[in-house]
Amino acid sequence: MESSNLPLPPATFFILFALASGEKHGYAIMREAREASDNGFELGPATLYTTIQRLLDSGWIEEAESPEGSDSRRRYYALTRDGNSALQGDLKRMESIVKRSKALRLRSVEAAS
Amino acid sequence: MIATRIYSGFLSLYPAELRRDFGAEMSQVFVEDLEDSYRSRGVAGAARVWWRSVKELWRVALPEHASKREIEVPIVVYCLNNLYMAVMLVSFPEVPGAHGALPVVQAIAGSLLFSLIPALITFVALRVGNHSVPVPLVLGTK
């Protein structure tokens, strides 16, 4: 995972995040992104599928086989190793920012007292 | 369903490759989202889905077309002429002998005449003869 890819654009991040818990079809990805962001980030169909198209091209996600009994019109998508590594890279980056911001906050509290 | 038909119209504005590969899925996802939003949040929910789709047209479909010179040049010509008309209107608010709505009508007609016609001519010229468009000078390196 190249650090030049980070930070991931929000649409890319939420699609990879949604697929981290298993393969999903487009609408399930959209719902998962909405829930994960506490309704703060809305993915519309055009943003969703332009991003899916880019992610398929870059090999971060791949088309998966549809589960038995599912709607045949739906296509399912799954995270690849590269996609997972990109997601982990961004999560680590966020984690370190949160840690750092917590540390800074502690320092500012100490300075105030 | 009328929503599907309208959204299909929206789809026609998206890049051909995206439509070919994902058009059916996009329509399906839109309709599912519209139905779910209407069920859970009523008219406001449905309106939100429509509004998001219009915003997406602006954000996703338009940049694709706007990067084409056939669209770019007429838009610039149109904007420049409108700017010129606006400056003229501000500079000369009083038109001698004109009363009521006439100056406004004149301004609108003038704006259309001076902006749409050159924009149309540019569009046709670019469309018909792309070779006549000045090619950016490529500087050679030693």
Question: What would the pLDDT profile of B16-69 be if each residue is shown by its tens digit?
Answer: 889 999 999 999 999 999 999 999 999 999 999 999 999 998 888 777 666 666
Helices vs strands, H then E, count in chain B: 6, 0
CA distance A51 to A9: 10
- pLDDT band at B4; cut points 50, 70, 90: confident
CB contact under 8 A, A45 and B30: yes
Burial class of residue A86, CB neighbours in 10 A (0-12, 13-18, 19+): buried
Report d(CA B18, CA B56) in Å as an integer. Answer: 14
**What angle, rounded to 10 degrees, do the helices at A26-36 and A10-20 form?**
110
- Per-residue model confidence (pLDDT) at position A44: 93
> How far from B88 is each of B50, B76, B116, CA to CA, in Å?
39, 18, 17
Q: To the nearest whole number, what is the mean pLDDT of chain B?
A: 74
Q: At what angle do helices A45-58 and A10-20 cross, to 10 degrees?
A: 70
- Residue of higher predicted confidence among B101 and A103: A103
pTM score, whole prediction: 0.68
Mutate to test the interface with B, among A39, A43, A49 (most CBs of B within 10 A): A49
Question: What domains are there in chain A, each with its CATH number?
Answer: 7-112 (1.10.10.10)
- Provide ipTM, 2 decimals: 0.82
- pLDDT tens string B93-141: 565 555 556 666 766 777 677 677 777 776 676 666 544 443 333 333 3
Look at A15-19, A108-112, B79-83 and tell me which has the smallest mean pLDDT. A108-112
Which residues of chain B neighbour A27 with C-beta distances below 8 Å? 28-29, 32-33
Tell if the CB–CB gap between A46 and B57 is shorter than 8 Å.
yes
Please list every residue in chain A whose beta carbon sits closer than 8 Å to the beta carbon of residue B8. Answer: none
Token pair for residue A20?
Answer: 């981290």
Contact A30, A97 (CB under 8 A): no
State the pLDDT at residue B71: 66
Counting Cβ atoms within 10 Å, is residue A20 exposed (0-12), middle (13-18) or buried (19+)?
middle
| pLDDT over 90 at A87, yes or no | yes
CB atoms within 10 A of CB B9: 9
Residue A45, min C-alpha distance to chain B (Å)? 5
d(C-alpha B138, C-alpha B15), whole Å: 29
Q: Residues 16-55, chain B: which have Cβ within 8 Å of A?
A: 17-18, 21-22, 24-30, 32-33, 52-53, 55
SS3 string of A12-75?
HHHHHHHHHCCCEEHHHHHHHHHHHCCCCCCCCHHHHHHHHHHHHHHCCEEEECCCCCCCCCCC
Whether the Cβ atoms of residue B73 and residue B126 lie closer than 8 Å to each other:
yes
**Domain ranges for chain B:** 2-66, 69-131
Would you state the structure tokens that stand for residue B40, as one six-digit string? 């859970």
Q: Count of CB atoms within 10 A of residue B32's CB?
A: 17
The backbone torsions φ and ψ at residue A62, rounded to the nearest 5 degrees and listed phi first, read -140, 160
